[in-house]
Amino acid sequence: MIQFIQIHQHFGPKVLFEGFSWHIKPGCRVAIVGPNGSGKTTLFQMAAGKMKPESGEVIRSKNTVLSLFQQIPEFSPDTSVIDTVLDENKLYAEYDGKRKLIESKFETINHDDPAFEDLLHDQSDLEEFAHLHDLHGLEARAKKILSGLGFSTADFLRKTKEFSPGYHHRIGLAIALLNPHNLLLLDEPTNHLDDKTKSWLADFLVSQNQAFVLVTHDPEFLNQTVDTIIEINPHGTFEFQGSLEEFFEAKNEIQEQLKAQFAKEESYLKSRMEWVERFRAQATKARQVQSVIKRLEKRDKVDNPEESFWNQKPDYQFQFLPSSNIILRLENASFSYPDKNTGVKKTIFENAEIEISAGDKVALVGPNGAGKSTLMRCLLERHKLDSGSLYYGPKTKLGYFSQTHGEDLDEGLNLVETVIKKYPELSEEKARTLLGHFAFPGDGVFKSVKHLSGGEQSRLRLALLVNHPSNCLFLDEPTNHLDIVIREAVKRALIDFPGSLLIISHDPDFMKGLCNRTFQLSGGVLQNLNCSFDDYLKFHKEDETESPAQNSAGKSKFEEKKANPQSSKNKRKKLEKEISDLEVQIERLEKNKKDKEELLQDPEFFKNRSFQLEMDTYNDIKRDISLLTKRWEVITIELEEMGGVT
């Protein structure tokens, strides 16, 4: 499908590829692994034709139809989610553009004009094109994919700018999955995804029977989806069929073999040189000595193997400042912002309370889009509360790692300039030493920020954070883009950090053993779960697998253990909030339905061959209204059983 032949590529002084060759074959299910900055994303850019190598060839077969998902998707902020996904579809965009052009021509042409027949013929050809590629069913497929990626029916009509970066990631994924392809390239697809969505994506990829190549640092997802692991290096690839654990075992075995080979060669050379030195001065041995020396000079050199990247264990230490007993306290706090479509205020949280004390390691959990990142930014005073109070302890010093790619970085600077700008007291030598600890060796520190990969940007921001004296770290999705080795090093450093933590993460393996407290934000309610993250994870999994009939109270073990009057009150508030949101959504859909019905009453409408697309949209709206109304009825009954709406 795609061949890389003798590729050479540099980024400044760094050699990415030097005579690199690789062949992507039909039907492959491959994961590319390697350290951040090793060229994985660059390979995808070359494969997609977005970047040309300095030398060498990238050959795509004529029948290869490629769809690429990149780490940071971009699209119009004022377009609805469903329109964004459809508009980015190459075939649909071609069809829709031609359809609109034909419709505009129909408005300006008379029936008796000779060109009218040509226009009808063009319209017929266009509908055949749509039928051939099943474009009339494309919206239904788009909605199915969006639902799998965690979007509700009501979300389809919301503008993309209303969503968090994590949901922008999902929109980009939906675009890539819907685009026509027989080869799918996915760069870090599981960033920002919860376990349920990861599982859906894994099932989707495996069931499609199409070739795909992943760049991922997610071991579980990798093992669920691929049959081949490829480690890239400047000259080519190391290809392995099996699980990631088996891959590591194979790499370690090869490493041990190389070490043994080097030790054997060193021992042989030492013994030969000792013999040469012993008999060098003897005239009778002169010819033999010279013969041995010549053979040694011609002998192929065996290099001492470098330590495998996968066996490296970087040692990071976050700078700590002593704190007072209280880090921060949030009391009776609320925050909301107006919905850009309806003008109605959307509550992110209300009556929220949280206290973080010295040494607390807090996990902030909750569904995607619940507002966890917004709450964190409120605690950092980057958003102003609507009501309530936020108190910092007298010695509190916060450090912050944002999930937003490139936030607080100047793309006009290189790495060493970035560090010195943040910490002017550091010399260039010390700045370079700091960067070296985060795998930016040698002249790589002069690489421009704008040319960094996602993983390299994350490493740079971690380097800046490590050098920032603090007693409480706020970390929003810190493991996104990080390779396995760096991620484990960061976790070790956080475990050793004597200060406090507040962490948002969709990486349960990273969070295990790290947090002794857990708060959940869901439906505008912030709840102290009074448990460690490990306990939360255990209860949460039980909650997903246990049916209501499994205990007399009809509750899961997690609900039983955590049930209390406050949680009942919080549940009521959550349901009342959902009722209010549903009513707004239903009202908006009813208006859209009325607009469509007015269009359908126009006799001229049915003369347009695009009427089927409008009919499909109309039927979708009616179905959405029915689904939302049923949900409204269920919640209303539940509230009545709880004593009615307060």
Residue 518: other Cβ atoms inside 10 A: 24
Long-range contacts for 60-64 (Cβ within 8 Å, ≥24 apart)? 60/1, 60/2, 61/1, 61/2, 63/182, 64/1, 64/2, 64/182, 64/183
pLDDT of residue 236: 63
Each residue of 248-295: pLDDT tens digit? 788 778 777 877 887 887 787 888 888 778 877 777 777 787 887 788
Structure confidence at residue 379 (pLDDT): 94
The pLDDT score that the predictor gives to residue 535 is: 87
Percent of the chain with pLDDT over 70: 86
Angle, to 10 degrees, between the axis of helix 611-641 and the axis of helix 565-600?
150
Identify the weakest region by mean pLDDT among 110-114, 170-174, 225-229, 306-310. Answer: 306-310
What is the enclosing helix (H) or strand (E) of 396?
none
Model confidence pTM above 0.75: no
pLDDT tens, 564-595? 555 566 677 777 877 887 787 788 778 878 87
Give the mean pLDDT of 42-67. Answer: 85
pLDDT of 43 over the 80 cut = yes
Confidence of residue 606 (pLDDT cuts 50, 70, 90): low
How much is the pLDDT for 566?
54
Q: Collapsing DSSP states into helix, strand and coil, what is residue 71?
A: coil
* Separation of CA 593 from chain center: 36
Dihedral (CA of 224, 229, 231, 232) sign:
negative
Give the per-residue pLDDT at 301. Answer: 72
Identify the pLDDT of residue 550. 33
Instruction: Answer whether residue 547 shows pLDDT above 50.
Output: no
The average pLDDT across 15-19 equals 80
Quote the pLDDT of residue 343: 59
Vertex 221, ends 215 and 227: CA angle to 5°? 75
Question: How confident is the model at residue 174, as a pLDDT?
Answer: 92
**Angle 437-442-443 (CA atoms, 0-180°, nearest 5)?**
125
Residue 552, pLDDT score: 34
Structure tokens at 291: 């013969």
Higher-confidence residue of 538 and 554: namely 538
| Residue 415 to residue 430: CA distance in whole angstroms | 13
Rounded distance, CA 44 to CA 7, Å? 13
| Per-residue model confidence (pLDDT) at position 561 | 46
Lowest mean pLDDT among 143-152, 292-301, 410-419, 522-531: 292-301
| CA dist., res. 443 & res. 449, Å (int) | 14
Q: Which amino acid is at 576?
A: E
Q: Return the pLDDT at 291.
A: 81
State how far the alpha carbon of 183 is from the alpha carbons of 22, 49, 148, in Å.
Answer: 15, 14, 21
How confident is the model over 120-153, as pLDDT tens digits? Answer: 777 777 777 777 766 777 788 888 999 999 888 8
Reduced to 3 states (helix: H, G, I; strand: E, B; else coil), residue 504 is strand
Higher per-residue pLDDT: 1 or 516: 516
Mean pLDDT of the chain, nearest integer: 79
pLDDT at 411 over 70: yes
Report the candidate in 239, 228, 242 with the shortest Cα–Cα distance to residue 22.
239
* Residue range 342-400, pLDDT digits in tens: 556 778 888 899 999 999 999 999 887 788 989 999 999 988 999 999 999 999 999 99
The pLDDT of residue 560 is 47
Please enumerate in sequence order all residues whose Cβ is within 8 A of that of 208, keeping only pairs 6 or more positions apart, or say none: 184
Each residue's pLDDT tens digit, 419-474: 898 888 888 888 888 888 787 777 778 888 887 777 788 888 888 888 889 999 99
Q: Please provide residue 31's backbone torsions phi and psi, each rounded to the nearest 5 degrees.
A: -115, 130
pLDDT for the residue 328:
92
Q: What is the DSSP secondary-structure string of 596-618?
A: HHHHHT-GGGGGSTTHHHHHHHH
Task: Indicate the pLDDT class of residue 503, thresholds 50, 70 and 90.
Answer: very high
Counting every residue, how long is the chain?
Answer: 646
Q: State the pLDDT at residue 388.
A: 92
Tell me what pLDDT residue 499 has: 92
Least confident span in 326-335, 421-430, 503-512, 577-586: 577-586
3-state helix, strand, coil in the chain (%, to 5): 50, 20, 30
Task: Output the CA–CA distances (angstroms, integers) from residue 271 to 262, 266, 268, 284, 339, in the order listed.
Answer: 14, 9, 5, 20, 80
617-628: per-residue pLDDT in tens? Answer: 677 677 778 777
Which of 210-219, 328-337, 604-613 has maximum average pLDDT? 328-337
